[in-house]
């Protein structure tokens, strides 16, 4: 029998919630006995996606960020979405070093970090409607 579990939270688009979100996911995923490395990779990827929703999606204005995490056996799927401004050109946004906010000292490495630390990263975005990032990772544990 396949083991399944899931959780869902939503929170305001405040930079304080970046740490909250990554710690919440890490706590939920810990039931799979991940390695220190896996937990750190997941926390970093979650931090990137939530930070993007705060900075780019809502541009530091008030908004709601939705996060869900599903476990199926040793597969972890994390979905982070915002109803913010959306991305006009997703493939350009995913290029290493591309940032639309260089004046804020952003490095343009967020998506590259997510891709390196997770097995799969899907980005769905509609300009003016919002962005959803789905990330999957199969843990070596179990």
Partner 1 sequence: MNVSYFVKRENLIVRIIGEIDHHSSEMIREKIEREYVRQNVKNIIFDFSDINFMDSSGIGVIMGRYKSVRERGGKLGVYSVNPQIDRVFQLSGLYKNKIINPYSSLEEAISNI
For the annotated catalytic residues, the residue numbers are 48, 52, 106
- Nearer CB in complex with Mg ion: 34/110: 110
- Chain residues binding ligand ATP by CB under 6 A are 48, 52-53, 56-57, 82, 84-87, 93, 98-101, 106-111, 131
3: left (phi over 0), alpha (psi -120 to 50) or beta: beta
* Residue of 52, 42, 44 lying closest to 15 (CA atoms): 52
- Nearer CB in complex with partner 1: 96/126: 96
- Closest residue by beta carbon to ligand ATP: 110
The widest CA-to-CA distance across the chain, in whole angstroms, is: 52
94 binds partner 1 (CB under 8 A): no
- Nearer CB in complex with partner 1: 84/110: 110
Q: Which stretch binds partner 1 (CB under 8 A): 12-20, 75-83, 120-128, 131-139?
A: 12-20
What's the min distance (Å) between Cβ of 63 and partner 1? 15
Q: Write 104-112 long-range contacts (CB < 8 A, 24+).
A: 104/55, 106/55, 110/48, 110/49, 110/51, 110/52, 111/48
Residues 43 and 23 sit within 8 Å (Cβ to Cβ): yes
């Amino acid at each position: 029998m396949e083991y399944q579990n899931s959780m869902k939270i939503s929170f305001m688009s405040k930079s304080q919630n970046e740490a909250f979100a990554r710690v919440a996911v890490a706590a939920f995923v810990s039931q799979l006995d991940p390695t220190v490395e896996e937990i750190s990779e997941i926390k970093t990827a979650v931090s990137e996606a939530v930070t993007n929703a705060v900075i780019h999606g809502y541009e530091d204005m008030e908004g709601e960020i939705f996060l869900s995490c599903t476990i199926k056996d040793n597969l972890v799927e994390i979905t982070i979405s915002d109803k913010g401004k959306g991305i006009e050109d997703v493939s350009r946004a995913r290029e290493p070093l591309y940032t639309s906010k260089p004046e804020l000292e952003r490095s343009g490495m967020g998506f590259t970090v997510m891709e390196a630390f997770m097995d799969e990263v899907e980005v769905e975005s509609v300009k003016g409607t919002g962005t959803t990032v789905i990330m999957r990772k199969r843990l070596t544990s179990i």
